[in-house]
Amino acid sequence: MNFELKPMGLVGASTEKCDALIVLVPQDFKGGKDDLSVLVAQAIKSADLETKTGKLLPLYRPVQANAARVVLAGVGSGSARDVRAAVIAAVASVKTASLKKLMVCFAAPAREEAVRAVVTAVAEATYVYTHTKSKPEGRTLSKVLVGASNATEVQATFDRAVGIVAGSELAKEWANRPANHATPTLLGKAAQELAKLPKISCEVLGPKEVAKLGMGSFMAVAQGSDQPLRFIVLHYNGAAKLQAPTVLVGKGITFDCGGISIKPAPEMDEMKFDMSGAASVLGTFRALAALKPAINVVGLIAACENLINGQAAKPGDVVTSMSGQTIEILNTDAEGRLVLCDALTYAERFKPTAVVDIATLTGACVIALGGVRSGLFSTQDALADALFAAGDAAQDLCWRMPLDDEYAEGLKTTFADIANVGGRAGGSITAAKFLQRFAEKFPWAHLDIAGTAWKSGAAKGATGRPVGLLVEYLLGQARNT
C-alpha cells in the first residue's frame, strides 16, 4: 500500500478520480465557494451531517466529486484522537473488494498529529492477515492519497507516519503468525531479511554460541523445547561508528505454555503473541531503514519457546545468568525476565546511551493499565520523560510506574542471589525490579506491553505496538545528537 501527500484542499479533491473520497470536516468548518465545500456546508446546515467525531454522511457518486463514493466525516476538534476515530469509521463504510484507490482530504488546514493519525488509521482499518489462509483475500487497497492545503508544513510528519506504518505492519505480521510459523529459527531468518535493507546488519547466534557466552538463564527457558533457541543481534548504522548506540531488547518467546507452571488451557493460543516485544524490535528496524535517521541502534532478541519436556526447568532450579548472578526459578511461567536478563547483560558491550527492553511480561500490568497504556519503568527521569513524550506524539501511550527499592524485598531467597518472582502484589513492578538488577551499568527503561501488544475476542490480533513509540523516541534522539 502506497501513501502520497498532495497539496490540495476540497477543490482539488473533488477532481481526483478515486474509488472513495473521505472528507474530514471539523466542528469549526468554514467552506469556500467551490461545489464540494457548498455541499458540506449545506449538509451541516440541514443537520444531515454532524461534525461530532465519527458521525458520517455517505454519498454515492455525487456530482460535486469525481469519486465513486464520498463520505463526509465529522472530526470534532480535529485532534489526533478524533481524526483517528473518524477515519477508522469512514474506511469501514467504504471498504469493499473494489476499493483500490482512496483519498482522504482535510476540509481545513491539517495539524501534524492529525496527518499522522490519518496514515496510521487507514493502515489499521485495512490490515488483513493472510499468511496461513489457503485462499487468502488480502488488502485490495493499493493507493492512499492524503490531501492537505498545508502539505508542505506537514510533509515530515507524514513521511514519519508512513515509515512507522511499515514497521508496525511487519510487527503485526510476525506477532500474528502461529507458533509453528514463527519459530525462533524463522524469527532469525526474518531479521536476516531486514539486513538486506540500507544501513542494517544482522548476526544470529545459536545454542553453542549462547552457551559459550554463559547465558544460563536464557538457556534454562529454552531447554524445555525441541526448537533451538536463537539470539538475534541487529545493527542500524545511521551515524558515525564512534557514536554510542541505543539498544532495544525484545522478548521473543515464540510460544509460552508456562512450562511446568503450566497456564490454563482457555486462551492459551494467544501465547503466540508472547514474542510481540521481539516483533516490535523487527518492526522498528524496518521503520529505521525507511526513515534513515542519523543514529546508531542495536536490536537484541532472545528467542525461544517455553514448553515442557523431560529437560524442562523445574520450580526450585537454580541457574547462573550471564552476569554471574544466580537465580532461583520459583515459577517457570515467569520466563520472560529470565531471557531478558541475559540480553541486558549482553547489551553492556555496546556501551549504550540507553537500553529499552520491550516485553509482554506480566498479567499484573494488564490488571493495572488495561489495554490502553503500556507500563513504563525507568531508572532515569530523562529517559522516562522522553519515552512518555514519544508515546503521546505517536498516540502509542504509556504510563510510568514506580521502582521503589521496597518492591524488591519479595525477590529475596535463601538459595540464590535472587528469585524470579516476588508474589502477586505489585507483580509488574517486582518483575521490573528483577530486570533492574541486570541493568545497572546504563540508563535503562522497561516497557511492559502485555496489555497493549494484542487484542482478544472478535478483534483478536496484534496491534503493532509499541513500534510508533519506539520510532518516535529514536527520531527524537537523532535530532538531539
Helices and strands in the chain: count of H runs, count of E runs: 14, 19
For residue 133, count CB atoms less than 10 angstroms from its CB and return exposed for 0-12, middle for 13-18, buried for 19 or more. exposed
* Alpha helix segments (H runs only) across 295-394: 336-347, 363-369, 381-394
Buried b / exposed e over 267-287, threshold 16 CB at 10 Å, is eeeebbbbbbbbbbbbbbbbb
130-137's contacts with Cβ under 8 Å and 24+ in sequence apart are 131/173, 131/176, 131/177, 131/181, 132/177, 132/178, 132/181, 137/97
Residue 102: how many other CB atoms lie within 10 Å: 25
Q: Are 151 and 114 in contact (CB under 8 A)?
A: no
Please give the grid coordinates belonging to residue 73: 466525516
DSSP 71-101: EEEE-TT--HHHHHHHHHHHHHHH-STT--E
DSSP 108-146: SPPPHHHHHHHHHHHHHHH----TT-SS-------EEEE
Closest-CA residue to 37 (of 115, 108, 112, 87): 108
Query: Which residues are annotated as catalytic?
Result: 263, 337
Max CA separation in the chain (angstroms): 79
Please give the grid coordinates belonging to residue 475: 527520531
